[in-house]
Amino acid sequence: MPEPTTATGGLLAAIAGTGRDAVRGGYSRPVFSTAERDLVSWYEAELTARGLEPEIDRNGIVWAWWNPAGLPLEGAVVTGSHLDSVPGGGAFDGPLGLASALRALDLLRGRGVEPARPLGLAVFPEEEGSRFGVACLGSRLLTGAVTAERALNLTDPDGNTFADVARRAGLDPAGFGRDEEALARIGTFVELHVEQGRGLVDLDAPVAVASSILGHGRWRFSVHGQGNHAGTTLLDDRRDPLLAASRVVVAVREVAAANPGARATVGRLQPVPGGTNVIASRVDLWLDVRHPDDAVTAAVVAEISRRAVELAAGEGCTVQVREESLSPTVDFDPALARRLGATLGGVPALATGAGHDAGVLAAHVPTAMLFTRNPTGVSHSPEEFCTDDDAEAGSVALADVLADLLR
């Protein structure tokens, strides 16, 4: 890895070896894993080195406050992101926003900014939902968008409950749930994130302000058949759920293509028991659907579900469908977005198809996002990238908007 050329690049270089995935490539940093906890420790050490005192709240969110005037925390300006990743993800999705927050704080202090409001830095757990299936779980718990009961009973692929894993990480499951006090401290929230498409590449710009997030959700389809022996069971005697599931995957693409603007993906498929010489008894597949019109999202899922039942029956199988998470389309606070755009001299405004904690918080507090250019246009993949110069430009832009909001 080349030597970093900017301060933001240096912060990211310090964690470049944490959570590398030798099998998938990229990084695998599921929530409460050793890699993710190591990143939290790194971040807490960076905060401490800047004279801030990190604290972990009852929902597992890490907070720290720059408040030299000793002001009440209610109505503060907050910036932050996440440290967990998808399996085999890129180096910048999440950590870039937190490295930029640290760098922005350094820049604000270097400029001699005297904040008239406290500045909070926050790390939200399980943003990706890669371990427990519900994206933005930390911010959903904070706001009450998911109940504590449901969250605590979520299980990871190894059968561990969220409650058990959180307890082993030093958290008290009895404390999870909507936190009015923490919400009251957030007067304005700004999240910086690496762009997860190629909007800025095509515009030849390093930074943009977010305008909206596509409505999106996740559904689990369980296709039930009959487990049996691969060598002794004649083809005509099989009720093979993997064959049915494969037809459902094709139908997902067909239904999405018939609805302009829709995006539908099956990124994970799990046969049970999963033996090479075994006809599966059940196949679980996870569907991700997104569209700017929430009614279209619902219609796409309904049609895929209908097709799944039909296709499964053709193979002598049945299907159960369960919604795991659903987020409506988010339009970020327009006045705040205009203010950020004006502060930055009229940078582009971009919509995104990716979900973020900022999208969950937007229903409760004025919220905005900044995107930093990704020259590959690829994300959730080892090919995700951000140059040191663009990372620094994003940090400077974040410092500029925070300086304005802190007046």
Within 10 Å of residue 53's Cβ, how many Cβ atoms? 10
Q: What DSSP string runs through 298-359? A: HHHHHHHHHHHHHHHHHTT-EEEEEEEEEE--EE--HHHHHHHHHHTTS--EEEESS--HHH
Binding residues for Zn(2+): 82, 93, 128, 193, 380
Phi-psi region of 136 (alpha: psi -120 to 50; beta: other; left: phi over 0): left
Residues 350/210, Cβ–Cβ less than 8 Å = yes
In angstroms, the CA 367 to CA 190 distance is: 6
Binding residues: 82, 93, 128, 193, 218, 277, 290, 380
Binding residues for allantoate: 218, 277, 290
Rounded to the nearest 10 degrees, how much is the dihedral formed by the CA atoms of 223, 227, 232, 236?
Answer: -30
* 144 burial via Cβ count (<10 Å: 0-12, 13-18, 19+): middle
SS3 label, residue 75: coil
In angstroms, the CA 319 to CA 166 distance is: 32
Token couple for 151: 């969250």
